[in-house]
Amino acid sequence: MNSNVIYNYSRLRFTLFFLPILFLTAIILFLYSQNALSVSEYINCQKNSFYFINYHLGHYPRLQYNLTQFGDALIFLSFLSILILYAPKVWEALFSGLLLSLILSCSLKNIFAVPRPAVVFNNDSFFIVGKAVCGHNSLPSGHSITVFTVLTVLLFGFMPKKLKIKIPWISSIFIIGFILAFTRVGVGAHYPIDVIVGSIVGYISGLLGIFISRKYKIWNWIGNIKFYPVLILLFLICAIMLITRLLNENLMVYYYAFISLAFSIYKIIQVYVKK
């Protein structure tokens, strides 16, 4: 499996950045055409779409709240922890991509300083699932960046060779990505363009993570069995964090994430003992 991932990553070209840059340019031009480059007009131009999406998704609060947790790296990576054994190259790209996404997310949020919906709108006028997210850090959506960083790494790492399989694979990844990303509007934490921009930034971060891991051997120790005790320790810390969250919020997604992580810890220990 790891050899296929390495092969798929080796075939990627920098031309893949053209499309997301084009989309970002189109969004800027759209906002310009709507005279919405100021913070107040940015919010106002998507007020109706925010209420529309939030209203329809907000009727399923439990589902939205569980799905939106995938925007948390701890949760998403717990489900992918088993890939440490079978496709460590994926984790090398994830580490680089997620570090970049964190830097981009924090930087862009500080630059734009867009107030959250809960700050601007009457909180009784839309669905807020979970604790109301306040502050002036709405653009871009950090959860969407995380989701698309991870999915982009998976998208290209496990890209099928046959075209008739490749098209459904790409479509499925993007559909899943946007379902997860738009839960941020469903729970009342972001505006629609926040999510779209976050998704594009996440895609770029994932691609950069792949190119960095391909050129530099920063994380190549991940696949080395002698470093498995380090990974076991890290995963145990993550498991404790998941247990803490379970005690605070009884969400089904936390149970599944914990089971996935516990199984991975068991398999890694098993492989390490047998070395």
Give residue 158's identity as a one-letter amino acid code.
F
| CA dihedral of residues 19, 25, 31, 32 (deg, nearest 10) | -150
**b/e code 175-193 from CB counts within 10 Å (16+ = b):** eebbebbbbbbbbbbbbbb
pLDDT at 66: 97
pLDDT at 223: 87
pLDDT at 93: 96
pLDDT at 202: 97
pLDDT at 203: 98
* 79 vs 72: CA distance, rounded Å: 12
* 154 vs 206: CA distance, rounded Å: 9
* 9 vs 94: CA distance, rounded Å: 13
* 99 vs 72: CA distance, rounded Å: 13
pLDDT per position in the chain (275 positions), as tens?
888 998 989 999 999 999 999 999 999 999 999 999 999 999 999 999 999 999 999 999 999 999 999 999 999 999 999 999 999 999 999 999 999 999 999 999 999 999 999 999 999 999 999 999 999 999 999 999 999 999 999 999 999 988 889 999 999 999 999 999 999 999 999 999 999 999 999 999 999 999 999 999 899 899 889 999 999 999 999 999 999 999 999 999 999 999 999 999 999 999 999 87
